[in-house]
Homo-oligomer: A and B are copies of this chain.
Amino acid sequence: MDRPVTLAEVAKLAAVSTATASRALRDDPRISDTTRDLVREAAAQLGYVPNLTARALRRRKTDVIGLLVPTVTDPMHGQTVTGVQQEVADTGFTVLFAASAGDPDQEAEAIRLFAQHRAAGMILVASVLRPQEARDVAGSDRLVFVLPDHVSLAGYQQDPAEGTIRADDPAGVTAEVQHLIDQGVRRLAFMSGRLLASHVTRRTVAEGAVAESHLRDPLTIYPPLGSAFTVPRSLLSRIERDRPDGLICYDDFTALRMIHALKEAGIRVPDDVAVCGFDDVPFARMASPSLTTVAQPTERMGRLAVRMLLECLDTGTMPPSIVEPVSFVPRESTRRPPP
């Protein structure tokens, strides 16, 4: 591979200085139209490709944004990434990308790498680090947190730091509880997937909503289902014993697995038990029964994250945190005949 063409070579061909060539290629208004075209032509002729590392070194800043997600395989995070990409396109920024698998050490490592690349800013999706720790590792406060998942943020009690974008999970869960009660459900249960802050939040809100309702029984809490596809037999036995008639799952993945397992165990959904999820993944509407859930504006949150970060890079101050509305989506999995 022959060495790439440099600006000096372009300048030489155009018979101008490198300074002029540099300005011409970036549409500096001080350059005359004639020389600009001259330089452009020379660049095109030589197949000049600007060297962004040199540029970054000289300008002491890059046009790179670090994007960190637990994994892109999760449909929600995938959509967030898509939103980020869409909003980044045509801004001149490029995305440095890393996946942490939800592990704090890997997260920190990725942030460190972004810092070494002198990323202008970072977007951390579902970070499990304490926000301040992330900032320390990054050596910067140009960080936007999307759906931060550090334990200290559970329950939406504590106000998050600046630059945080969250969905209104409490409103979503509350709507689900209300809906189930409206459907005549009496004995409500909750099943989480793992034990992260977001899981605790949804569970706590559900508990509160049930407690404040006219229902006799408190919310039954089942142990987390984990990430395997199969549902443990012991859990099914317990459900068969408890016989809840409404089941709120942490997310759609959990809900769809439960519906599958319940059906196999001969428990009808929604007739015996109404089930709802959370997220509104694409398959939620294709499942049978189609899944009642809460749609999160994930893609939008990705876009917002970029806007927020760019504004911070522009103005020097991070915009205030926001909570995005969610929308309740009733479907077949909770449709019950009036009593």
Which residues of A approach B to under 8 Å, CB–CB?
Answer: 1, 3-4, 47, 49-54, 56-57, 60, 62, 67, 71-73, 75, 78-79, 81-82, 85-86, 89, 94-99, 106, 112-113, 115-118, 139-140, 229, 256-257, 259-260, 263, 282-283, 285-288
From A62, A79, A139, A140, residue with most partner B Cβ within 10 Å:
A139
Contacts A4-B139, A53-B118 known; A97 to B67 CB distance under 8 Å?
yes
With a CB–CB cut-off of 8 A, which chain B residues contact A229?
Answer: 282, 285-286
How long is the Cα–Cα vector from A53 to B47 in the complex, in angstroms? 23
Residue of B1, B4, B56, B85 touching A99 (CB-CB under 8 A): B85
Flag if A53 contacts B62 (CB, 8 Å).
Answer: yes
With a CB–CB cut-off of 8 A, which chain B residues contact A81?
Answer: 72, 99
Contacts A4-B139, A53-B62, A256-B286 known; A117 to B97 CB distance under 8 Å?
no
Flag if A288 contacts B285 (CB, 8 Å).
Answer: no
Q: Given contacts A95-B98, A260-B288, could you give 17 more A-B pairs where the C-beta distance is less than 8 Å? A: A50-B116, A51-B57, A51-B116, A52-B116, A53-B53, A53-B57, A71-B82, A73-B75, A73-B79, A75-B75, A89-B106, A94-B98, A94-B117, A96-B97, A286-B287, A287-B287, A288-B288
Contacts A57-B53, A118-B53, A256-B283 known; A113 to B139 CB distance under 8 Å?
no
With a CB–CB cut-off of 8 A, which chain B residues contact A78?
Answer: 72-73, 78
Contacts A62-B53, A286-B229, A286-B257 known; A97 to B99 CB distance under 8 Å?
no
Flag if A116 contacts B257 (CB, 8 Å).
Answer: no
User: Which residue of chain B has its CB nearest to the CB of A61?
Assistant: B53
How long is the Cα–Cα vector from A97 to B94 in the complex, in angstroms? 7
How long is the Cα–Cα vector from A218 to B50 in the complex, in angstroms? 55
How long is the Cα–Cα vector from A99 to B116 in the complex, in angstroms? 24
9 sample A-B contacts, Cβ–Cβ < 8 Å, listed by A number: A3-B60, A51-B118, A72-B72, A82-B99, A85-B97, A86-B99, A229-B285, A257-B286, A287-B287
Flag if A98 contacts B85 (CB, 8 Å).
Answer: yes
How long is the Cα–Cα vector from A256 to B47 in the complex, in angstroms? 48
Q: How far is the CB of A108 from chain B (nearest CB, A)?
A: 13
Contacts A52-B116, A62-B53, A95-B97 known; A1 to B47 CB distance under 8 Å?
no
How long is the Cα–Cα vector from A82 to B86 in the complex, in angstroms? 20
With a CB–CB cut-off of 8 A, which chain B residues contact A259?
Answer: 286
With a CB–CB cut-off of 8 A, which chain B residues contact A112?
Answer: 49
Flag if A94 contacts B113 (CB, 8 Å).
Answer: yes
From A115, A117, A257, residue with most partner B Cβ within 10 Å:
A117
From A62, A75, A85, residue with most partner B Cβ within 10 Å:
A85
How long is the Cα–Cα vector from A282 to B118 in the complex, in angstroms? 37
